[in-house]
């Protein structure tokens, strides 16, 4: 039995009694890890100036912004907070704008002015010739200033772009000083031009 205890003692180490009697010195506590000293941030890499002769890539700028469509290029600022500018109308505008701006870029248009975009129902009702369920009231249509129908004529030189961007243009006979473009739903036809 004593032999067994000796073997056990060798395997498990000193007991508390041996430590108390001073026969075995306590093992020193394990060394604590050295605290990590904060390091100074690495110096910023030097940035060299781009030579003025190097071309700088630009992101294509949208010709028509959300605010342009809602306020008719800043003419009707109160429409920003209109009760009829609902989340659904905002979603329609956000779906329409990329198509519209892509069309204008594809046509090479450099600037536009919005004469009518989002229209509250009371404004639409007072607008001569406006459809009762106009896409303007849903944020899906825009009228761009177009005296002489230059933009309308340009659109008609490339009617395939209307199909590509899923847009419609109103017949220029009905729009003497503006170009109406919308993303409404109509029966498809060879050229996406409609008469009201």
Q: What is 45-74 written as a DSSP string?
A: PP-PPPPTTS----PPPPSS-HHHHHHTTT
Judge whether 19 lies within some domain. Answer: no
Cβ–Cβ under 8 Å, residues 178 and 146? yes
Rounded CA separation 93/87 (Å): 10
Cβ–Cβ under 8 Å, residues 120 and 84? yes
Q: Read off the pTM.
A: 0.68
User: How many residues in the chain?
Assistant: 196
Give pLDDT, residue 16: 47
> What stretches of the chain adopt beta strand conformation (E)?
114-116, 141-145, 168-170, 178-182, 193-194
Here the CATH number for the domain that contains residue 113 is 3.30.1380.10
Tell me which residue range forms the domain holding 184: 66-194
Judge whether 45 lies within some domain. Answer: no
Judge whether 1 lies within some domain. Answer: no
Judge whether 7 lies within some domain. Answer: no
Give pLDDT, residue 20: 45
* Chain centre to alpha carbon of residue 51: 32
Judge whether 120 lies within some domain. Answer: yes
Judge whether 56 lies within some domain. Answer: no
Give pLDDT, residue 68: 95
Rounded CA separation 104/181 (Å): 11
Cβ–Cβ under 8 Å, residues 131 and 158? no
Give pLDDT, residue 183: 94
Judge whether 59 lies within some domain. Answer: no
Rounded CA separation 137/141 (Å): 8
pLDDT tens, residue order, the chain (196 aa): 555 545 544 555 555 445 445 554 444 445 555 554 555 555 544 544 444 444 444 456 889 999 999 999 999 999 999 999 999 999 999 999 999 999 999 999 999 999 999 999 999 999 988 888 899 999 999 999 999 899 999 999 999 999 999 999 999 988 889 999 999 988 877 788 888 8
Judge whether 38 lies within some domain. Answer: no
Q: Domain tally for the chain? A: 1
């Amino acid at each position: 039995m004593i032999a067994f205890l000796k073997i056990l003692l060798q395997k498990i180490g000193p007991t508390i009694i041996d430590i108390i009697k001073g026969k075995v010195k306590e093992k020193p506590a394990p060394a604590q890890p050295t605290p990590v000293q904060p390091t100074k941030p690495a110096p910023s890499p030097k940035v060299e100036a781009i030579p003025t002769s190097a071309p700088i890539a630009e992101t294509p700028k949208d010709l028509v912004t959300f605010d342009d469509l809602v306020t008719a290029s800043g003419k009707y600022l109160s429409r920003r907070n209109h009760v009829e500018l609902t989340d659904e109308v905002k979603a329609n505008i956000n779906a329409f704008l990329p198509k519209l701006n892509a069309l204008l870029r594809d046509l090479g248009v450099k600037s536009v002015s919005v004469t009518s975009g989002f229209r509250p129902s009371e404004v639409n009702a007072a607008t001569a010739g406006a459809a009762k369920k106009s896409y303007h009231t849903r944020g899906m249509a825009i009228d761009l200033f177009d005296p002489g129908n230059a933009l309308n004529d340009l659109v008609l030189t490339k009617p395939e772009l209307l199909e590509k961007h899923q847009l419609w243009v109103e017949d220029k006979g009905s729009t003497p000083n503006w170009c109406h473009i919308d993303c409404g739903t109509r029966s498809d036809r060879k050229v996406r031009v409609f008469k009201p």
